[in-house]
Every structure is written in structure tokens, then in C-alpha cells.
Structure 1
């Protein structure tokens, strides 16, 4: 059999919950009368860390494992993407840049050859006999001046 006994506190003033005999039996006593001071040294991180106790351990473990898996997936994806960018960049520098420079040089050479060909054709036209018939009354033995077509 269990014996219930009320134990009286010796130092009534030291505990914030201590009260007189009449307030112990009174139903109007509330916790608002008890002073609750927030610790001045408590930081925001300490308050967030205290919330860990609210979440059950199995849920905490599940959340932690999912977050760590997501972080490792992001890390691996970033590493692969970085390697791909590195390969493309170095390939462009080692292959595409010299190719572009050689194509530019080739285009310059083709333009110079075209210009030289036009100059040669122009010189041959100046030396060739005139395609225009000789004017009446002119001496064919005299060298004719080149005619300028209309519009020039």
C-alpha cells in the first residue's frame, strides 16, 4: 500500500513556486505570477538548437540524411559541370582558336589573290585594242585614247 504524505518546505521564500498555504489550495493561482526571465546570454542559435528536442529522433535522422544526400548530389553535379566546362574551354583554346586564325589568314590570302587578278585583268584591258570602232576621219596609226563609258 502507498502512503501519500505532504512535505512542507523549510525555506518558503527561496523558490519562485513557493506560496502560502491558502494560495496552494486556491484555484486562482497561475503561472503568470511566477517571474520568468529570459537569459540575457542566450543567443538566437541557442534558441534554435533547443528546438531540436521538439523533433523526434527518427524524423531528425530522416531529415539529416536527405539533406546530406542532396548536398552530395549538388556537389557531384557541380564537379561534373565544372569538368565539362573545363574540357570545352581548353578544347576551344587548343583547337578552335588556331583553326579560326588559319581561316582568317586563308581569307586574307584569297582576297589578295583576287585583287592581284583584278589588277592583271585591268592591265590587259588597257593594253588590248579598243573594242570600239575607229572614228571616221581619224588616223588608225595614231594611238587612240581610252574611251570612258557613260556614267563615269
Structure 2
């Protein structure tokens, strides 16, 4: 997803454009990794020194609900990144637990899982692989 696509989603859903919202999206777009709300706050406070953490977190939550940001949990903390695609293309990630870098996996493990009982209808799932990327292993 691009910044422009994310802003278009906001517009289509009736959310007011603000420079702060755009900057949060730009911060997430610039990083190819998951960021905590505090990471985002640290990066945006230079431009908006009076912006509250609650405002940043509320916007992040809205962006997750709209599918603009993807969310995961690392070490008990929510982490966020710009969604990979606009159309919700189904995919999973390998995530570095040191730097948060992510790579998409080409296949979904649900395609080979036949153990779900017939009387159970799957409505969603989440699959992530955690490890250490090459750059973090060499430091």
C-alpha cells in the first residue's frame, strides 16, 4: 500500500484529512518493519511536539480497523506496519524479533491444513514466523 492509497481509504471512509494522520502513515511507509506506538510517537514529535500519545494511539487503532496498518504483537507489545496491499491480499510474514523487519511468505499454511473438523467454519486465522534476520545476527 502507498501513502496515497492509505489517504484515499481515509477519504472514502469519511475521515478528515490531517497532516498528523498523513505523517503517521508516512512514518510507517518509510519503515519496512513493525513499529511500536512509542516508536511512531518518537518520530512524529519533531514535527508535532505537542501531539499526545493518546492521539497517536487512537489514529493507529483507526488505521488498523480500516486495514491501512497491520498489527502484530512482539514481546507483549503491539507493533504496527503499513499494510502490504490495498485489496487485503492474503499473506503471512516472517518477522525479525530484534529489528522488526518483515518479509512476506509466498504461501499460506492453511492450504495444506486438513485437520479442521468439517463442522467448524474457519472465518480467519493468523500465522507469523519469528526469528532473527541476517543483519541482526551479524551484529
**Both structures adopt the same fold (TM-score exceeding 0.5):** no
With normalisation by structure 1, the TM-score equals 0.15
Larger strand share, 1 or 2: 2
Q: In proportion to residue count, which structure has more helix?
A: 1
- Give the number of the structure with larger relative contact order, counting CA–CA contacts within 8 Å between residues 6 or more apart: 2
Larger Rg, first or second structure (1 or 2): 1
Q: TM-score, normalised by structure 2?
A: 0.16
